[in-house]
Amino acid sequence: MSDTEMNGAESLVHTLLENGVEVCFTNPGTSEMHFVAALDHIPGMRSVLVLQESVATGAADGYYRMSGKPASTLLHLGPGLANGVSNLHNAKKAGSGVVNIVGEHASTHIALDAPLTSDIEGIARPVSHWVRTTKGAPTVGKDAAEAVQAARVAPGQVATLVLPSDTAWDEGGVTHAAHEPAMPAPFDSGMLADAAEALDGPECLLLLGGAALSESNLEMAGRIAAKTGCHLLSEWSNARLERGAGRVSVGRVPYPIDIALEVLEPYKRIVLIGARAPIGFFAYPGKPAILTREGADIITLAKADADLTSALEALCETTGATATQPAHVATPDVPQPQHGPINLENLAAVIARTIPEDAIVVDESVTTGRAFSPATKGAAKHTWLNNCGGSIGYCLPVAVGAAVACPDRKVMALTGDGSAMYTIQALWSMARENLDVTILIFANRSYRILRGELTNVGVQNPGPRAIDMLSLDRPDLQWVEMAKSMGVEACRVTDCETLEAAIETGLAMPSPYLIQVDL
C-alpha cells in the first residue's frame, strides 16, 4: 500500500509497528473505530481488550518493565483516558514508557460540546511527560513516531497522543520511520572521586534504584561493597529488581517511618545511583520527612535517567573493585515445609519455597508482604516488581502486561484484597489471553495498612464508624466466585499445606489461577 492510499489511522498502525510498538491494550469507542479497522486489516499488532482502562495503562506499565519496549494503549476520549490515569501515575513514577493513543471528536465537532467532549490534554498532562493533539491525517505518522521516541527517553516516559477522529479517517496518512532512541543522560562523573571516597565502611550506604537493579549491575554493586565495606540498599519501591540465590542481594528502605529512620540512622555518607534520597511516603505530625540522619552527606552519582551501568562500572574501577568477589551474594535458602493456619511468617516461607526459577513476582501485598523480601532472598532466581506510585490497583494489570511481555515465564501476582478490587476487571483479560499468572489474594478483609496509618497520624482508639471505613467485611468478598465469574479458575486456602499445593497447581497450569488466602 502506498502512502497516498492510506488514511491517518492506517499510518498510525504502520508507524507504531515500524517503531517497535507491537502490543495495544485497548478499550476502544466510536471515536477510535478507524483505528480498530486499521488494526483489523494490518497484521502485526497484538490487541488486548480490557474491560476498564485502568487495566490497559497498568498492563502497559508491566509490559515495559519486562520488555523494555513501550506498548500502546487505545483509549476512548477524555473519560477513557481518565479511567487509566491512576495507573499512568504509577507508570510515570516507575519510569515506564507508555504510548497512549486517545481518540477525540472530529475537529469540527469539538466546539459543539457533545456529551463526551472534555479537555483531553488537561486530563493527560498531570500524568504525561509528552502530550500532543494531531492537526491532520498527514501528521499522524510523524506525531506517533515522536510519541514513541518520547516514551523511550530513559528510564521511560508517558506519552499521550490525541487523535481527532477526522485525522483517522481522512486520507493522506504517511508512515514515519523509527527515530533513533535517545541516549540516557551521562552520570555525574565529576562526583566520582567523592563517591569513591565516601564509601569506606559500614557507616556508608550505596543506595540503588531503577536500572542499577539488574543482575549485572547488582553484581558490580556487590564488588564495591566487598571492597569498601559499604552497605547496599534499594528504595522502598523498585520498578524491577533481580533477586534470588546467586545474585547480589539488596534490602529495601522500609515503609514504616519509625523503622526506616532506625535503618538509615547509621549512614553518615550515602551515594545514590538511580535512587533518590529517602523521604517518607507520607508526612506524619511531629515526625521528620527526610529519613536520613541529620547532616548525612548525600552524593548523587547518577539519577534514574542516567546511564547507570556506566556509573557502576566507573565506581567499580575507581574503588578498585573490578576484580573483587561480590559481597552479599544470596545463597540458596529454601525454608522447610510449613504447617497449620497461615500467618504472615509462614506465608512468606511458603512463597519462598514455591517461587519458580525465572518467575516474575508482581507485589502489591502491602501490609501482608512485609516479611516477603527477607524471606525470599535465597529463593530461586526471580524478578520482583513493586508499585512505585502508591496508587493501589497496580498489581493485576501489571501482571497482565508482564505475562504478555514474557510468555515463557511464570508470573506470580501477590495482592491485598483491597488493592485487587480496584482493578479486578484484569482477571477477564487474563482469562481471555490465557495468561500464565498465579494470583494470591491476601484476604485480610480490611485496608489493614490504614489501621496503622490511623495510629501514625495520632488517632488512638478509633470508633466503629472509622473502623467501618477501613474494613472490607460486611460482606466478605468471595474470591473464588469472583474469579469464576470472569473465567479464571480459583480455590480458597486456610492452611499452609493447601496453600503450597494450590500454588503448585497454579504454577503448573499455563492459564491464570487465583488463590484466596484467608488471613
Interaction residues for its own copies, span 228-247 (CB under 8 A): 237
Q: Contacting its own copies (CB under 8 A), which of 20, 30, 216, 262? A: 30
- The residue behind cell 531503577 is 210
Binding status of residue 422 toward its own copies by CB under 8 A: yes
Binding status of residue 438 toward its own copies by CB under 8 A: no
Q: How far is the CB of 68 from its own copies (least distance, A)?
A: 22
Taking residues 287 to 306 in sequence order and writing x for each that binds its own copies by CB under 8 A, - otherwise, the string is --xx----------------
Angstrom distances, CA of residue 170 to CA of 1, 7, 9, 11, 449: 16, 5, 8, 11, 52
Taking residues 367 to 386 in sequence order and writing x for each that binds its own copies by CB under 8 A, - otherwise, the string is --------------------
d(CA 293, CA 419): 33
Pinpoint the alpha helices (H) of 68-131.
77-83, 85-94, 107-110, 120-124
106 vs 509 by CB, closer to its own copies: 106
Q: Contacting its own copies (CB under 8 A), which of 33, 178, 491, 501? A: 33
Interaction residues for its own copies, span 34-53 (CB under 8 A): 34, 36-37, 39-41, 47, 49, 51-52
Q: Contacting its own copies (CB under 8 A), which of 28, 70, 378, 506? A: 28
Q: Contacting its own copies (CB under 8 A), which of 8, 78, 95, 222? A: 78
Q: How far is the CB of 104 from its own copies (least distance, A)?
A: 10
Q: Contacting its own copies (CB under 8 A), which of 68, 93, 358, 518? A: 93
31 vs 175 by CB, closer to its own copies: 31
HSE-up (13 A, CA, CB side) for residue 145: 18
d(CA 193, CA 196): 5
SS3 476: coil
- Percent helix, strand and coil across the chain, each rounded to 5? 40, 20, 40
Segment contacting its own copies (CB under 8 A): 198-206, 318-326, 400-408, 446-454? Answer: 446-454
Segment contacting its own copies (CB under 8 A): 84-92, 134-142, 185-193, 502-510? Answer: 84-92
HSE-up (13 A, CA, CB side) for residue 121: 7
All 3 cell numbers of residue 445?
478483609
Interaction residues for its own copies, span 146-175 (CB under 8 A): 165-166, 169
All 3 cell numbers of residue 71?
506498548
93 vs 179 by CB, closer to its own copies: 93
Report the 10 Å Cβ neighbour count for 185: 14
66 vs 85 by CB, closer to its own copies: 85
Q: Contacting its own copies (CB under 8 A), which of 431, 437, 439, 441? A: 431
* Residue 12 DSSP one-character state: H
Residue 189 φ then ψ, to 5°: -65, -20
175 vs 516 by CB, closer to its own copies: 516
Angstrom distances, CA of residue 503 to CA of 2, 44, 346, 380: 52, 34, 14, 15
d(CA 2, CA 174): 9
Q: Contacting its own copies (CB under 8 A), which of 285, 294, 295, 331? A: 285
Q: How far is the CB of 158 from its own copies (least distance, A)?
A: 12
Strand order in the sheet with 46-49: 46-49, 23-27, 71-75, 98-104, 158-164, 130-133
210 vs 244 by CB, closer to its own copies: 210
End-to-end CA distance of the chain: 59
Interaction residues for its own copies, span 471-510 (CB under 8 A): 471-472, 474-482, 484-487
Angstrom distances, CA of residue 410 to CA of 175, 229, 362: 36, 36, 11
190 vs 463 by CB, closer to its own copies: 463
Residue 451 falls in which region: left (phi positive, over 0), alpha (psi -120 to 50) or beta? alpha
Q: How far is the CB of 154 from its own copies (least distance, A)?
A: 18
Segment contacting its own copies (CB under 8 A): 80-88, 197-205, 349-357, 502-510? Answer: 80-88
Interaction residues for its own copies, span 243-282 (CB under 8 A): 276, 279-282
Q: Contacting its own copies (CB under 8 A), which of 391, 415, 438, 444? A: 391
Q: How far is the CB of 417 from its own copies (least distance, A)?
A: 9
Segment contacting its own copies (CB under 8 A): 211-219, 317-325, 371-379, 460-468? Answer: 460-468
Binding status of residue 75 toward its own copies by CB under 8 A: no
Q: Which residues, including other chains, have CB under 8 Å from residue 273's CB and lie 6 or more apart?
A: 187, 206, 207, 208, 209, 212, 221, 301, 302, 308, 311, 312, 315
HSE-up (13 A, CA, CB side) for residue 154: 19
Residue 80 CB burial class (10 angstroms; 0-12, 13-18, ≥19) = buried
Segment contacting its own copies (CB under 8 A): 79-87, 406-414, 437-445, 496-504? Answer: 79-87
Q: Which residues, including other chains, have CB under 8 Å from residue 403's CB and lie 6 or more apart?
A: 62, 360, 411, 430, 433, 435, 436, 437
Q: How far is the CB of 280 from its own copies (least distance, A)?
A: 7
Q: Contacting its own copies (CB under 8 A), which of 1, 193, 259, 283? A: 283
All 3 cell numbers of residue 470?
477501613
Interaction residues for its own copies, span 96-135 (CB under 8 A): 105-106, 108-109, 112-116, 118-119, 122-123, 125-127
109 vs 381 by CB, closer to its own copies: 109
81 vs 308 by CB, closer to its own copies: 81
